[in-house]
Amino acid sequence: MAQQQYIKHLYEMEEKSLAEIARTTKLNYRTVRKYALKDDWSEDKLPNLEPESYPVLGEFIPTINKWLEEDKRVPRKQRHTGKRIYYRLRDEFGYTGSYSSVKKYVRKKKAEMSSKPNGYLPLAHPQGEAQVDFGEFIYYDVHGQESKAYALVMSFPYSNKAYIQVFPSQNQECLLEGMKCIFEYIGGVPSRIRFDNMSTAVAQVLEGAERKLTDGFTRFMLHYRFEADFCNPASGNEKGNVENKVGYSRRNAFVPVPAITSFDEFNESMWKWCEEDAKREHYSLKKPIEELWQDDKKKLLILPEHPYSVFRYESLVADKTGFAVVDTNKYGLSPTLAGKTVQAKIYFNRIEYFCDHQPVGSFRRCYGHKQEIFDWTLYVSTLCKKPRALENTRFFSKLPDMWREHLAKTSGQERKSALQLLEEIVSDGNTALCNDTIQLAIENGRTDTDSLRQCYYMISRREYRPVPLKLDAAPVMVYDPNLSVYDSLTGGEAHG
C-alpha cells in the first residue's frame, strides 16, 4: 500500500507523467497506470488467499506444470496428488520449501487447467455463408513413408455441407488454390467467409475486428467479391462448424490412413466422398443435408468471368552454380545465370523461373527442407566445355541410365563429341529418345558418336514414304500428237 500511495502522490501532487513515474519507481507502466488512475479504493472484494509469487517454489513450477500436464494422459487414480509432488520435489530435486506452498500452487494450477471457456451464444446461420480452416492428417506417400498433409475444409453452417481439398502445406498458394477449386466445383462463391487469423490471410491483427490483410489474399477476395470475417484471437469457437468438420473428416475420410501418390487424383476422389456424406440427415433440422444445400446454393455469388491464377512472384539472385532458393529449397538453373537476378513464379505445385522475361526453368515445387532440385538437361551445354568434370557433378546420377554408362567409358574428344550429341538431342526436345538412341546403336554393334548420331536421326527424323495411290481400274493411255503445229513456226500451216 505504501508503494501504491507513493505512485498516487507522484501523479496527483507532483503531476508527473505515467512514464516518469515508471522510470522513478522502476515499475511496469501498466502497474503505474493502474494505481495512478485508480479512483475507487474501497475494499469491497474478498481477499486473495492465493500467493502471487513463490520465492522458494518458483524454480520448480515448470516441473510441476509438466507433471500435471502429463497426468491428463493417465488414469485418475495414478495422477499426482499435492503431497506426492511435494515428496518428489524434496527427494529428487532438493526442494527445501514447505508443503503448504506446493499444495496451494497445485490447487491453483489444477483449477486453471479444468476451467471451462465462457459460454457461447446460439447463433443463426445465414444461407450461402461459409467457414474455412485447415486440418492436419497423415498419409503414406509413393514410397510408403508416413508423411504429413493438410485438408482445406470449407463448410456451410446452414446446411452443414462441406467440401475438402488436400495439400502438402498450409501456405497461401495452397489456401487460395483450394478455395478456387471449391468455388469452381460448386459453381458459385459464398457471400461471406469466416477464417481464423491465419498468417496467409492476415498480415496484422489490429484493434477490435480490424485486420490488415496480405496483398495476395486481398486480390483474391476482390476478384471473387466475397466478404471475409476473422475470429477474435484464440476464439476458434467462433467458427465452430468448420472446426467440427475438420475433426469429422479426419475421423472418416482419412481413416484408415490413405495412400496418396498424386494430390490431384486424390482431390478428385474427395468430391465424391463429400457428395456421399451429404446424403445423411442434418444433426438438428432432421432433413437431408443435400436438400438444405440447395437453399445454400441459391445464395451463392456468381463466379467471375475470368478464373483467378493463384501464384506469387519472388525476385532471386542465382548463386555461382546457378541455383536459386525458394523456401529453403534450392532449384538448379543454368550455370550461365550465376549472379543474375531471376524471377520465380510460384504456384502451389510448381515453380517457373524467368530471366529477362524469358523462361529459364520449370520445376515441381518441393515441400521438403533444404533439398536440391535440378534438371540435368540445363547443364549439358556447360558440361560440353568441361567434359572431364562429368563424374564429379551432382547431377551425374540423374542422367539417363544408358547414357551415364556410355559416358563413363569415354574420355577426351570422344566424350566431348558424345556430350555435344546429347546437347543436340536435348535442344531438339527429344530427351525421351536418349536411351532409345543408344539401344539401337548397341543392337547394330557400334556405339561411336557418329553411329549414335545416325541412330538418333533414324529415330527422330524418320523418312517420309507416301502411301501408294490405289486406282479402281487400269488407266487407258491414248497418245496421238499432232506434229503439224510446228509447221506454223516456219511459215507453213498447221493441220488438224
* Kind of pairing between the strands at 358-364 and 129-140: unpaired
**pLDDT attached to residue 247:** 92
Q: Grid coordinates standing for 74?
A: 493417465
**pLDDT attached to residue 129:** 93
Question: At residue 72, does pLDDT exceed 80?
Answer: no
How many alpha carbons lie under 13 Å from residue 430 in its C-beta half-sphere?
17
Q: List Cα–Cα distances, 12 to 5, 8, 18, 133, in angstroms.
A: 10, 6, 11, 51
Q: Grid coordinates standing for 78?
A: 495414478
Higher local confidence (pLDDT), 208 or 280? 280
Confidence at 329, pLDDT banded by 50, 70, 90: very high
Question: At residue 235, does pLDDT exceed 70?
Answer: no
344 in Cβ contact with 324 (< 8 Å): yes
As a whole number of angstroms, the distance between CA 257 and CA 140 comes to 7
The 3 state secondary structure assigned to the chain is CHHHHHHHHHHHCCCCCHHHHHHHHCCCHHHHHHHHCCCCCCCCCCCCCCCCCCCCCHHHHHHHHHHHHHHCCCCHHHCCCHHHHHHHHHHHHCCCCCHHHHHHHHHHHHHHHHCCCCCCCCCCCCCCEEEEEEEEEEEECCCCCEEEEEEEEEEECCCCEEEEEEECCCCHHHHHHHHHHHHHHHCCECCEEEECCCCCCEEEECCCCCEEECHHHHHHHHHHCCEEEECCCCCHHHHHHHHHHHHHHHHHCCCCCCECCCHHHHHHHHHHHHHHHCCCECCCCCCEHHHHHHHHHHCCECCCCCCCCCCEEEEEECCCCCEEEECCEEEECCHHHCCCEEEEEECCCEEEEEECCEEEEEEECCCCCCCEEECHHHHHHHHCCCHHHHHHCCCHHHCCHHHHHHHHCCCHHHHHHHHHHHHHHHHCCCHHHHHHHHHHHHHCCCCCHHHHHHHHHHHHCCCCCCCCCCCCCCCCCCCCCCHHHHHHHHCCCCCC
How far does the chain reach from its first CA to its final CA, in angstroms?
Answer: 141
The whole-number average pLDDT for the span 331-345 is 90
**pLDDT attached to residue 461:** 76
Type of residue numbered 297: K
**pLDDT attached to residue 111:** 82
Question: At residue 147, does pLDDT exceed 60?
Answer: yes
**pLDDT attached to residue 388:** 86
**pLDDT attached to residue 351:** 94
Domain boundaries, the chain: 1-43, 46-114, 129-298, 312-374, 380-460
Confidence at 381, pLDDT banded by 50, 70, 90: confident
Cα angle 122-125-128, degrees, rounded to a multiple of 5 = 170
Residue 450 β-bridge partners: none
**pLDDT attached to residue 205:** 78
**pLDDT attached to residue 472:** 65
Residues 6+ apart with CB under 8 A from 44: none
CA-derived radius of gyration, the chain: 38
Which of the residue ranges 203-207, 208-212, 409-413, 464-468 has the most confident prediction, judged by mean pLDDT? Answer: 409-413
As a whole number of angstroms, the distance between CA 274 and CA 256 comes to 17
Instruction: List, for residues 2-48, the tens digit of each pLDDT value.
Output: 788 788 778 877 888 999 989 888 888 888 888 888 765 544 444 44
The whole-number average pLDDT for the span 99-116 is 83
**pLDDT attached to residue 122:** 45
Question: At residue 428, does pLDDT exceed 50?
Answer: yes
The whole-number average pLDDT for the span 267-285 is 92
Type of residue numbered 355: C
**pLDDT attached to residue 43:** 47
Instruction: List, for residues 81-92, the tens digit of each pLDDT value.
Output: 988 999 999 999
Confidence at 58, pLDDT banded by 50, 70, 90: confident
**pLDDT attached to residue 119:** 45
**pLDDT attached to residue 44:** 45
**pLDDT attached to residue 174:** 95
Instruction: List, for residues 166-179, the tens digit of each pLDDT value.
Output: 999 999 999 999 99
Q: Which of 342, 334, 330 is nearest to 373 (CA)?
A: 330
As a whole number of angstroms, the distance between CA 118 and CA 150 comes to 30
**pLDDT attached to residue 392:** 84
As a whole number of angstroms, the distance between CA 12 and CA 29 comes to 16
What's the whole-number average pLDDT of the chain? 85
Fold of the 129-298 domain: Nucleotidyltransferase; domain 5 (3.30.420)
How many alpha carbons lie under 13 Å from residue 102 in its C-beta half-sphere?
20
140 in Cβ contact with 257 (< 8 Å): yes
